[in-house]
Structure 1
Amino acid sequence: MGIIVVIEDDSRIQKTLRRLFEGENYDVHVLHDGLRAKDATSAPGVEAVVLDLMLPKISGRDICRSLKEQHPNLPVIILSAVSEVADKVLLLEIGADDYMTKPFSPRELLARVQAAIRRSSRMGVRPAAFKGFGDVTVDLEQMEVLRSGRPVNLTAQEFKLLRYFLENPMRVISRQQLLADVWGYESYPTTRTVDNQVLKLRQKLETNPTEPRYLRTIHGAGYKFVPEG
């Protein structure tokens, strides 16, 4: 097994998580705050991060956003005392792979972490390093997007969604399926975050975002990526 990085300032939860993951033969690296998160997650063998939102010095949201920009395929599972829908949507949009509300079931958390690791492994298999459509070229390994030869800045979550479309051309995909496959949520109270992320991709990659040629809406069904436009 690899390494699980736990970023949590509550000593009781630290001990619980250490016992939980070490019981499954993971190495566990515990941080009390996010100041060393970048170095800790860059170490070889890190497979996932369990991150508390309420941390001293640097907020969990900022840490999550930074980690996903640096390591877009590294699963980040959030622990939070917040249960409001708006906050959960925000977590999705900054790239969190899953979340659990405190108090939580350790066994359920373990199952979610392992599921996120499996999804990340599947996403890591690439049929080709370069893909493109229209005037857009995508380097999947370097996470670089060019449009008419000019760099396009995408967030980690936008790139993750784009990659999924590129790897599933001409397939009608429901919003619920996108939440499950891209965000890792089997059940979620709203799919609005999917619409927001697709809209952002269209604004950055489509010539006319209001009449998209490539990232098309299939009314009543979801979305379909049409590479030939």
Structure 2
Amino acid sequence: MEERIELDTTPSATLGTILIIEDDPRMQKVLRRIFIEEQYAVVVAGDGQTGLDLFRSEHPLAVVLDLILPRISGRDLCQAFKNLSSETPIIVLSAISEVVDKVLLLELGADDYVTKPFSPRELTARVQAAIRRQRRPVGASIYRFGDCEIDFKSMNARRKGVPVVLTAHEFKLLKFFTDNLERVLTREVLLNEVWGYSSYPTTRTVDNQILKLRQKLEPDPANPKHLLTIYGAGYKFVP
């Protein structure tokens, strides 16, 4: 198969370069358009070897990687990329949906896994979240907002100095919110990011969990200041 490389030189694409490795020309165009609209520069490779060469030359901000590729497989590429630059986020995009494949890719170093067909909004949200996680400096594990103090490392929470009992899952949900300050998070994103691949509760589960967090951490749970509902879209955390 003839290799395919497309370079975007749009002046407005200033947030960094996304490397897309995908052998389907139609999907290449779709992915390229998605990230250009988000103000990224884009480089596209149609096979594994070209993708590896572009990774070395372009030093991308993140990689969107198909699994089934000519010349070098997506699995082998994932390992190679992490050996070359462990901090570069790798988001696997594939029609393969078995949980064992997802677990394997995460073990190989992939930062996230999106199954085709996919929502463009979900894909860009996951790529941007992976980029933010890599950029976030390592600091103290204690997070403060309002009259709350949360120690994510020791899993202790206090409000007005009084201990508050949070479940492990409530800590995980709150951590995801604090990692995505003032970003509107859909229920779909929360289900995938916080509940994980092997569990698919209803969207009502998200609503119930947030209701419990409000009851424990908000001064007035009926009129929240931090865990806000964005009607028709999802939720947003404001410190």
Match of 2:194 in 1: 186
Question: Is the aligned partner of 1:20 residue 2:34?
Answer: yes
Cα distance per residue 1:165-211 (max 9 Å; x no partner):
xxx9973696995xx79xx94222459xxxxxxxxxxxxxxxxxxxx
Match of 2:92 in 1: 78
* Aligned residue among 108, 125, 130 for 1:116: 130
Percent same amino acid at aligned positions? 52
Match of 1:6 in 2: 20
Counterpart code for 1:91:
L
How many Å separate the matches in 1 of 2:152 and 2:112? 26
How many Å separate the matches in 1 of 2:72 and 2:115? 20
Unaligned 5+ runs, structure 2: 1-14, 140-150, 157-167, 180-191, 200-239
Q: Tell me, what secondary structure is at the counterpart of 1:30? A: strand
Match of 2:113 in 1: 99
How many Å separate the matches in 2 of 1:83 and 1:74? 23
Match of 2:102 in 1: 88
Match of 1:35 in 2: 49
The Cα of 1:49 is off from its aligned counterpart by: 0.3
The Cα of 1:37 is off from its aligned counterpart by: 2.7
| 1:45–1:94 distance in 2 versus 1, CA, 3 Å | closer
Q: Tell me, what secondary structure is at the counterpart of 2:86? A: coil
How many Å separate the matches in 1 of 2:122 and 2:152? 34
How many Å separate the matches in 2 of 1:19 and 1:12? 11
Q: Is the 1:53–1:78 contact (alpha carbons within 8 Å) kept by the matching residues of 2?
A: yes
Question: Is the aligned partner of 1:48 residue 2:44?
Answer: no
| 1:121–1:43 distance in 2 versus 1, CA, 3 Å | farther
How many Å separate the matches in 2 of 1:97 and 1:78? 8
Unaligned 5+ runs, structure 1: 128-167, 192-229
Cα distance per residue 1:1-38 (max 9 Å; x no partner):
10000000001110001111111111100000110333
The Cα of 1:83 is off from its aligned counterpart by: 1.2
How many Å separate the matches in 1 of 2:102 and 2:153? 30
What is the TM-score normalised by the length of structure 1? 0.56
Counterpart code for 2:122:
E
The Cα of 1:85 is off from its aligned counterpart by: 1.2
Counterpart code for 1:27:
A
Q: Is the 1:98–1:185 contact (alpha carbons within 8 Å) kept by the matching residues of 2?
A: no
How many Å separate the matches in 2 of 1:107 and 1:190? 22
| 1:169–1:30 distance in 2 versus 1, CA, 3 Å | same
Q: Which has the larger radius of gyration?
A: 2
Q: Tell me, what secondary structure is at the counterpart of 2:20? A: strand
| 1:25–1:45 distance in 2 versus 1, CA, 3 Å | farther
Q: Tell me, what secondary structure is at the counterpart of 1:35? A: helix
For these two proteins, the number of residue pairs brought into alignment is 147
Match of 2:154 in 1: 171
Q: Is the 1:7–1:31 contact (alpha carbons within 8 Å) kept by the matching residues of 2?
A: yes
Counterpart code for 2:195:
S
| 1:190–1:9 distance in 2 versus 1, CA, 3 Å | same
What is the TM-score normalised by the length of structure 2? 0.54
